[in-house]
Amino acid sequence: MCIIDTLDKGMLTRRTEKANRVLSLFFGFHWAKRIFEWNYLRKYR
């Protein structure tokens, strides 16, 4: 599972051996990735 960020919107992708799924651009995915990065990198700062 991966969120591809385009600075103002994001796209969620998921790949398995049987299928590739992509959800369209949505600003909520951009914010979800920013929150995840902030939370993950907080312990390294």
* Whether the model pTM is above 0.85: no
* Confidence (pLDDT) at 25: 85
| Confidence band of 6 (pLDDT split at 50, 70, 90) | confident
Taking the domains of the chain in order of start, what are their residue ranges? 2-44
* Confidence (pLDDT) at 28: 84
* Confidence (pLDDT) at 35: 92
3-state DSSP of the chain: CEEEECCCCEEEEEECCCCEEEEEEEHHHHHHHHHHHHHHHHHHC
pLDDT tens per residue, range 9-38:
888 899 999 999 988 888 888 898 899 999
